[in-house]
Chain A
Amino acid sequence: MKATARHHGKVTVVDVSGKITIGDGDIKLREAVNGLLDEGRKSILLNMSGVSYMDSAGIGELVACYKRATEKGATLKLLNPTGKVQDLLVLTKLQEIFEIFRDEREALTSF
């Protein structure tokens, strides 16, 4: 799993690619989001378009990131989850929790 951050004004877009799974992707996702929160970033958009799939540990870490962001007064939103990831978000009802966007510009202006 790879996570690369880019900044658009106050919003940080994290381009995530690969799989978010136990022992690798979940840890890298945690480190990426924690790093941004520690820098004081308040608006984080996770671009999920390059994520092929997640397991229960990856889903758990996504929820943990959302909770940590909220606790720190930040907002974490999702952009373009792919077929399998989208399926898992629906299956777990997390699509009702996360704000999910299909268009990056729309997502950027939503913060």
Chain B
Amino acid sequence: MDSINGFEAEAHGTVGRKVKLKLLSRIAYVDLVHEVAEALARDARFPKPEALNIGLAVREAFINAIKHGNRMDAAKRVEVEFQETADRFLVRIRDEGPGFDWNQTIDPLNAENIFRTSGRGIFFMKHFVDRVDFRRRRGRGTEVLLEKRIEPSAGRAGGGSQAMKRRRG
């Protein structure tokens, strides 16, 4: 495990390949998390527009974890775990906050909400991936699961993730 200025990364496993990032709650890390997500999605043979969608969903979930999960407490960490299986690309984003009500979100498409300047994060997540699940971890914050199906027609080479292979230790 490498640790540099509040940023840690590890990659392991030959089955259900995983890459994990642990970061302090800093908005400055949002681009990094987005770029890692997009690169791993590309590596899982998603076409570029789909990889961007996955990057955008992970970006929103990470921002959500910082703002609503850890409530901008820069000392609290956010863990982002990527897992590629035979037919799924899974991302779990875990915060260390006291929890929040993810059901209390507005519908940004309601006429009365169109002019709102916030409240579209979870809406974007749900649009960009196939499944978004929130789960409270007792005494340990909230976990968001993002899931995207890997279509067989995506032309995957069967060998799986090159980047993850490179990083395996």
Which residues of A approach B to under 8 Å, CB–CB?
21-23, 53, 55-57, 59-61, 63-64, 66-67, 84, 91-94, 96-97
Q: Which residues of A contact B49 (CB under 8 A)?
A: 84
Give how many A-B residue pairs fall within 8 Å (CB-CB).
52
Q: Is A56 in contact with B118, judged by CB distance below 8 angstroms?
A: yes
Q: Is B109 in contact with A57, judged by CB distance below 8 angstroms?
A: no
Which residues of B approach A to under 8 Å, CB–CB?
27-28, 30-31, 49, 52, 56, 59-60, 63, 108-109, 114-118, 120-121, 123-124, 127
Complex Cα spacing A60 to B28, Å: 19
Q: Which residues of A contact B120 (CB under 8 A)?
A: 56, 59-60, 92
Interface SS of chain B: helix, strand, loop or mixed?
Answer: helix
Q: Is B31 in contact with A93, judged by CB distance below 8 angstroms?
A: no
Q: With A21-B30, A23-B30, A55-B124 in contact, is A60–B117 under 8 Å at CB?
A: yes
Q: With A61-B117, A63-B115 in contact, is A55–B28 under 8 Å at CB?
A: no
Contact for A56 among B31, B114, B115, B124, CB less than 8 A:
B124
Q: With A23-B27, A23-B30 in contact, is A55–B60 under 8 Å at CB?
A: yes
Q: With A56-B120, A92-B120 in contact, is A67–B115 under 8 Å at CB?
A: yes
Q: Which residue of A lies closest to B108 (CB)?
A: A92
Q: Which residue of A lies closest to B109 (CB)?
A: A93
Complex Cα spacing A9 to B95, Å: 51
